Amino acid sequence: MRNYIAGLILVSAVAFLNVTHAENYSLIDGTRSIATDNKNYDVFIISVDGKMYNKSKMKLSSGTYYFNIASTKAKKFSKRNSVSYGSYSITLKPCVRYLLSAQYPSSSYKIDDWELIIKEESIGGCEIKHEEQPFDPLNDPRTNNFQAEVYAISFSNFLHSKKKQCQSPSLAEDIDLWLEQNKAILDGANYQIMHLISLKNLVSSDETILELFSAISSMTHEQTTKLQSELDPNNSCVLSLKNLKDKALYNRVYSSYGENLVLNENLQKSWEEVLALLKRQNKGK
């Protein structure tokens, strides 16, 4: 079971991550395959985050996107009007041009037997902008978009605290059962928080991240107080627990995540930097 205490103090930063930097952009180019390699083909972008494009070149704001990318070999050599494509999560860095191509092994003649090759080059004259738009994570309405994640993680941490406080074997058994039954939601919510904060950390200062955690602390305290009044107003250690997936609000979290909840290499490194920053901050207090 993950440590949801850490997730709890991170929750509200999700809304802040909707801040975009219009000046920071990346370029995608699928037209520059290697001319001297007859197994290397151009590609085109079928869709980005589910939106159809069918383009070979694109300009996007820097960030992480989910691409459906197709090889042009199928168009050239297939007898049918078929498309051979793959799905990829790619984090685009500011002021970087990404050269994409489809590489086929020398011994293969299959149209769908290829891997995506990604090369990077700097965009001349492009300057990374670090200025952020003002944002109040406590009051901005975008926070409501993530109330499912907030509630799920807060609920988990509230139950852990009640288990420790009440020292009741029967209640502890009920809480353990609830945590197991709702594990998919809790894992998904925790992953979503880690994923988005790691993205935010790539383009933010330490000061910005620490300000977020200060705001988050206030939000999670408020949510915990509400849970106490709703579930155990008399502090009697008698709780009535309902699974999160039985409530429509949390079905989105329950159904949005699969089994492979792992950050990619760049985001994992960014997340470790966030944890190191928090550790340094706590030592300084």
Q: Are 158 and 263 found together in one domain?
A: yes
| Closest C-alpha among 68, 86, 88, 77 to residue 38 | 77
What would the pLDDT profile of 20-61 be if each residue is shown by its tens digit? 334 589 999 999 888 888 888 899 898 888 788 888 999 998
Q: Which pLDDT does position 281 carry in this prediction? A: 82
Do 145 and 118 lie in one domain? The reply is: no
Do the domain assignments include residue 113?
A: yes
Question: Which parts of the chain register pLDDT below 70?
Answer: 1-23, 74-83, 107-109, 130-148, 215-217, 243-261, 284-285
* 128 belongs to a structural domain: no
Q: Tell me: do 93 and 184 sit in the same domain.
A: no
Residue 58: which domain range?
A: 25-122
- Whole-angstrom distance, CA of residue 130 vs CA of residue 146: 25
Q: How does 171-193 read in b/e, with b if 16+ C-beta sit within 10 Å? A: beebbeebbeebebbbbbbbbbb
For residues 82 and 207, membership in a common domain is answered with no
**Final residue before a domain boundary, out of 75, 102, 122:** 122
Longest dimension (CA), the chain: 76
- Residue 127: inside a domain: no
Give the pLDDT of residue 23.
Answer: 59
Domain membership of residue 256 (yes or no) is yes
State how far the Cα of 156 lies from the Cα of 231, in Å rounded to an integer: 13
**Percent of the chain's residues with pLDDT above 70:** 71
How many other C-beta atoms lie within 10 A of the C-beta of residue 236? 8
Q: Are residues 183 and 268 in the same domain?
A: yes
Determine the Cα–Cα distance for residues 194 and 14; give it in Å rounded to an integer.
9
**Same domain for 169 and 81?**
no
Q: Is residue 170 part of a domain?
A: yes
Which of 95, 122, 149 finishes a domain? 122
Where does a domain end: 102, 122, 142? 122
The answer as to whether 42 is a domain residue is: yes
**Is 174 found in the same domain as 81?**
no
Distance (Å, rounded) from C-alpha 253 to C-alpha 34? 43
Q: Are 154 and 266 members of one domain?
A: yes
Domain match, 252 and 269 both: yes
Q: What angle do CA 258, 264, 268 make, to 5 degrees?
A: 110
Let me know whether 140 and 205 are in one domain.
yes
Nearest to 180 by CA among 60, 2, 40: 2
- Residue 188 forms part of a structural domain: yes
Q: How far is residue 247's CA from residue 151's CA, in Å, rounded to a whole number? A: 12
Query: How many Cβ atoms from other residues are within 10 Å of residue 84's Cβ?
Result: 20
Per the domain annotation, does 31 fall within a domain?
yes
When divided into structural domains, the chain yields a total of 2
What is residue 118's predicted lDDT score, i.e. its pLDDT? 93
d(CA 128, CA 203): 10
Q: Are residues 142 and 91 in the same domain?
A: no
